[in-house]
Structure 1
Amino acid sequence: MISKIGDQFTKLFIKFMPDAFVFALLLTLVTVLGAYFFMDSQPIDIIKAWYGGFFDLLEFGMQIVLIIITGYSIALSPIIGKGVDYLARYIKTPAQVYFFVVMTGMLLSMISFGWIVITCFLARALALRVNGIHYPYLVACVYFSMNSWVLGLSSSIPLLLNTENNYLISKGILENLIPTTYTLGSVMNLAMMALMVIGAPLLMLLLKPKKSTLELKSVNNQQNNSIKTEAEALKLPFKAISDKLNNSRIIQWVVVLMGLIYIGYHFSTRGLDLNFNIMIFIFLMLGMAFHQTPMRYVISMKHASSNVSGILFQYPFYAGIMGIMLYTGLGEATAKVLASVATMDTYPFFAYVTGGFVNFAIPSAGGEFAVIGPSIIEAVKEIGTGLSQSEIDAMVAKASMSVAYGESLSNMIQPFYLLLVLPIMGAGINLQARDVMGYLVLPVVVFFILQVAIISFLPI
């Protein structure tokens, strides 16, 4: 019965949901209308705001591209293939694959949401080895497993609150840092971790479709030939210095050694600082080490780069939407409206809803919090008038984490971050966002109810 409901939602999404790029264009027009009617902004000012934000995500977009292709390159290496072959001996049924992929993805995403690429190639590799996998549903499982990133080490909002001289303190919105014991280490967040790591795999197992509409094994895999074989085929029929350089292990390993030295230095001097740049650098070095020669690595990166066009041209449009929300004041006004009706009992709920709603226009937790965070914090401080500073800090932490939870869950019903998943999971397959999103509706509804209960009743 439950799986049939998921199938029905999927049919609706297939029928009515356009391509992810069209979704971005429609969302742009909706945001334009919102700024025009609710902020009294002139059309030219809205267009200027749109253009002003259009290129604000270029660095972020490039980082995402590099995360995907460097991670995928690692996945194409022989050592990873052997590891997955070993794993497939023990994971033999579709149900086991769904459960394992969601749990693994939840754990990996708590380290960094960029590690979703590891979950992607693990899921794809298992789908090639296990019969009966409902592939669109498996893609939905992978995407849902990204939900946990706001609970862990790279969660941008709690890290911001505990960063020296952050913009909230410099602007007088906060008087002091909010330590991570109030946010990531709180009872509320630990309960949310348990829900994600244990509850999510069980839920996705319960919702699994009975029939497989598309199996990955049924499509023509474009990477049948090994990268080693391709590299050998590129050699000249006679001995040449160029071939020796192209296939030199020594050159590659000297560079890898330099990289490993820096990675050790980075973590020894900065602690567990897992930012995008160091992650990309680690993926680069690991890929070079696993492929052993420059030519093999070049070929692996060529394969890995073949399907990232969606990110390259769609991210600027989402940045433009963010620009309208930011520069016309629409995002701040939205936060103020929702915060104005909050009370001591309901402020976590309204912060959660605000985070989820605004995320459709600003699908970046850090960027979104820069727009709505000040208004929410000011509202919380006003609600808590007369309380001690530690109590105010706890309320701010709870409201901020509620924004993060709402932002993360609403990602599941819009295709922005699905652009991280499809280049890997959809390689060589005619797979679109509409084939996947319907399977996420019921999980989002269930988790909305459970998360609201946690933020409303559990202490910080």
Structure 2
Amino acid sequence: MNITKAIENIFKKYLPSPFTIAILLTLLTILLALFFTRPSDVGILDYTGDILQFWEQGIWTNGLLVFAYQMMLILVLGHVLVLSKPISNAILKVTQFCKDTATSAAIVACTTMLVAFFNWGLGLIFGALLARKVAEHAQRNNIKLNYPIVGAAGYMGLMVWHGGISGSAPIKINEDGHIASIMKDISSPEILSQLPETINYSQTIFSLSNLIIFIVVVTTISGLFFWLGKKANPTKIDLPEYQMNTDEKANTKAEKLDSSKILAIAFGVIIIIAFSYRYFDDIKMLKITPNLINFFMLGLGIILHGSFKRFTTAVGESISDVSGILIQFPLYFGIMGIMSSSGMVTQISDFFVSISNATTLPIFTFFSAGLVNIFVPSGGGQWVVQGPIVVESALKLGVPLNKAIMALAYGDQITNMLQPFWALPLLGITKLKAKEILPYTLIAMIVGSAIYIVGLLLF
């Protein structure tokens, strides 16, 4: 397909690494703030110093640094869960139902999206491993299979994740005072007085509108991949077996302690008991926070791995996933520091208000979030940069905050089908190339975009 090949070439030739993009966006933000927000009575050199101060203060914002660590844990612990023996065995059982390309692609797409709704890190690695194991199953049993379609289906979790339980924006606005904390140096007292303490999941993730949209997306995209599989020609598969977990041998007393199943399960149960005491009331109120999810996954991960050695080995294998978050998030925090302290957020929100109304603002938010995601391929980083603009614009136009924030979430997740950054773990596991899955992810992006836009208009 010439179009997808052209898109792949554009990304390779003209789009630098996400870290380089974050630096370029930082420099661009400094220049824009310098020329568009400088007070008339302040000299350019003095204001340059002010902007650099805004930037440095933003980088080390305590609440945002906690946010970065929370997002890293969500990804790592999700990956760790997939590498546990029970989930690995579940993946192998699912492959038994994959008899041809159509059913394989539909099953992989559907299960991956359902898993990603719970945790995006879990869904990302689960989809990749499931696609790989489906291909190995086909190879062993002489089943004719179009592997790129199945691989693309394994990436579909990234098209629904931000509208799921671990979505960065919905999960942060569920924390007490988070919305006010990111708006305190931006909005007027009148706007600040309208901010809710929290927006819980009954208004976002578990709202009737989001659940309907999610069900329609899962059903439609699964059907789409079934149809694509029916039309596709089989491809050659030559893969060695991917080892998801290995048995360990304990020789010394210290190694036996590391490998003790009783000790690991006992400690995991203690975590789950502590989790129940701490978060039972929050769960009843649908107050799902990053700490809640991470504490639960920590206990569950230790229990499912059955030993500290297996658990820490899985953590070691998963830790490379978070390198981008670790080094890029502080740069995004610096960008937010400049935008909030210089007044740029208000200027941008005023622009959106001037070209929008209560009906069109969620649509503009959807498309702008999709565009921003190409350059800021992280939902958490994007929330930090774009979230204040969305909140300010929504309040000025009387758009419900939960709807505006979900529009940002939908736009952010949909262009993951175009942006190859989060596909890298999948490509590494499946041994496919971006150009092989891109034709199918682009089709899914077009279909998914139509569903999200109609959903935003209807609800």
Normalised by the shorter chain, which TM-score bucket?
A: 0.7 to 0.9
Quick check: 1:201 aligned with 2:218?
A: no
- Provide, for residues 311-358 of structure 1, a one-character-per-residue CA deviation record: whole Å limited to 9, x for no partner: 433333333333333333333322220111223553333343444455
Structure 1 residue aligned with 2:307: 293
Answer 1 or 2: higher relative contact order, Cα 8 Å, separation at least 6.
Answer: 1
Are the equivalent residues in 2 in contact too, given 1:70–1:280 (CA < 8 A)? yes
Aligned equivalent of 2:363: 349
Structure 1 CA distance, aligned partners of 2:172 and 2:259?
Answer: 45
**What does residue 384 of structure 1 align with?**
none
For the 8 Å contact 1:340–1:379, the answer to whether it is kept is: no
Give the CA deviation at 1:258: 0.9
Match of 2:19 among 18, 21, 32: 21
Query: Match of 1:227, as an amino acid?
Result: T
Query: Residues 86-235 of structure 1 correspond to what in structure 2 (within 5 A)?
Result: 86-116=93-123, 117-131=125-139, 140-154=152-166, 167=180, 171-174=192-195, 188-204=209-225, 218=239, 221=242, 223=243, 227-228=246-247, 231-232=248-249, 235=251
Quickly say closer, same or farther: Cα 1:107–1:176, change in 2 above 3 A. Answer: same
**Consecutive unaligned residues in structure 1, runs of 5 or more:** 382-393
Specify the code of the residue in structure 2 equivalent to 1:259.
I
Q: 1:408 aligns to what? A: 413
The answer for unaligned runs of 5 or more in structure 2 is 39-43, 184-189
User: C-alpha deviations, 1:92-122, integer Å up to 9, x for none?
Assistant: 3344343223322332333343443444444
What RMSD in Å do the two structures reach over aligned CA positions?
4.1
**Structure 1 position 82 matched with structure 2 position 89:** yes
Shifted more, 336-345 versus 108-117: the winner is 108-117
Distance 1:31 1:435 in 2: 36
Q: Which residue of 2 aligns with 1:452?
A: 453
Structure 2 match to 1:9: 7
Bigger mean CA deviation after superposition, 292-301 or 253-262: 292-301
Quick one: structure 1 residues 256 and 109, their matched pair in 2 at CA, closer, same or farther if it must change by over 3 Å?
same
Q: In structure 2, give the amino acid aligned to 1:198.
A: T
Q: Does 1:377 align with 2:394?
A: yes
How far apart, in 1, do the equivalents of 2:36 and 2:21 lie? 22
Alignment match of 1:331 (pick from 345, 348, 361): 345
For 2:55, the aligned partner's letter is W
- 1:72–1:424 Cα contact (<8 Å) kept: no
1:305 partner SS: helix
AA aligned to 2:274 is: Y
Q: How far apart are residue 89 of structure 1 and its match? A: 0.9
**Are 1:158 and 1:180, in contact at CA under 8 Å, matched by a contact in 2?**
yes
Percentage identity across paired residues of the two chains: 27
How far does residue 373 in structure 1 lie from its aligned partner after superposition? Answer: 3.4
> CA 1:76–1:442 in structure 2 vs 1: closer, same or farther (change >3 Å)?
closer
Q: Which residue of 2 aligns with 1:258?
A: 270
Q: Residue 19 of structure 2 aligns to which amino acid in structure 1?
A: F
Q: Return the alpha-carbon distance in structure 2 between the equivalents of residues 326 and 133 of structure 1.
A: 52
Change (3 A) 1:399 1:29: same
Q: Distance in 1 between matches of 2:357 and 2:340?
A: 26
Looking at structure 2, the residues matched to 136 and 47 of structure 1 have their Cα atoms a distance apart, in angstroms, of: 46
How far apart, CA to CA, are the structure 1 residues paired with 2:213 and 2:352?
A: 24
CA distance change for structure 1 residues 159 and 79 in 2, over 3 Å: closer, same or farther? closer
1:142 CA displacement? 4.2
Tell me the residue number matched to 1:39: 37
Residues 1:322 and 2:336 aligned together: yes
Range with bigger deviation, 164-173 or 24-33:
164-173
SS in 1 for 2:333: helix
Write the distance in 2 (CA, Å) between the matches of 1:91 and 1:149.
24
Which shifted more, 136-145 or 64-73?
136-145
Distance apart, 1:206 and its partner CA: 5.4
Alpha-carbon distance in structure 1 between the residues aligned to 2:224 and 2:216: 10
Comparing 299-308 and 101-110, the one that deviates more: 299-308
SS at match of 2:223: helix
Offset at residue 380 of structure 1 (A): 1.3
Q: Residues 227 and 300 of structure 1 are in contact (CA less than 8 Å); yes or no, is this contact kept in structure 2?
A: no
Number of equivalences: 430
The amino acid that maps onto 2:115 is: L
State the TM-score, normalized to the length of structure 2: 0.75
CA distance in 1, matches of 2:280, 2:200: 22
Cα distance per residue 1:399-450 (max 9 Å; x no partner): 443333333334544466x1xx63465259697x788667644443443344
